[in-house]
Amino acid sequence: MRVLGVDPGLTRCGVGVVDGAPGKPLHLVHVEVIRTSPDADIAERLLGIERGIEALLDEHAPDAVAVERVFAQHNVSTVMGTAQAGAIAIVAAARRGLPVALHTPSEAKAAVTGNGSAGKAQVTMMVTRLLRLPAAPRPADAADALALAICHVWRGGAQARLEAARRAAGWTGGRR
């Protein structure tokens, strides 16, 4: 399974593509940070992120897209930019009919380190080890995007099968 992981952000949007399957070695395909200028108009910044994600979808043809779920932050402008950048990734994937999964930061941390409250240094170290990289991906947004992709490779397939079985059985969260 090839997964594009997206750590959304308006100034720095981490993106990483990983190939793998549960129980098999993981392989780094691509990692980068899409950057936009804080001085640019919001529409131009979002368009820049959209162009970058579309180019990655074209070039690397992932099977799924994993986006960090936005959580409440004290700075409203930061959470708004993060949510807007995440929405760009979701729309780009949906336009192509790709499955999209939202993973919390805790889920991604737990997947790669075994600890949902791990620090950025520990996440970066484990991503580097799991992908057998000669150097740590920088900045942290890049490592976080790879952690999201790894999380989905390992957990997403099972989640998708479980959800498909629930739909086939007519399960609607406790009500039929």
- Write b or e for each residue in 127-162: b if 16 or more Cβ atoms lie within 10 A of its Cβ, otherwise e: bbebbeeeeebeebbbbbbbbbbbbbbbbbbeeeee
Q: Any catalytic annotation for residue 141?
A: yes
List, as residue ranges, the binding site for Mg(2+): 7, 68, 141
List, as residue ranges, the binding site: 7, 68, 141
Geometric angle at alpha carbon 111, from 107 and 113, rounded to 5°: 110
Catalytic one among 19, 68, 107, 144?
A: 68
Q: Any catalytic annotation for residue 144?
A: no
Catalytic one among 19, 107, 141, 144?
A: 141
Q: Any catalytic annotation for residue 68?
A: yes
CB distance 82 to 8 below 8 Å: yes
Catalytic one among 7, 19, 107, 144?
A: 7
**What are the φ/ψ torsions at residue 155 (nearest 5 degrees)?**
-110, -25
Catalogue the active-site residues.
7, 68, 141
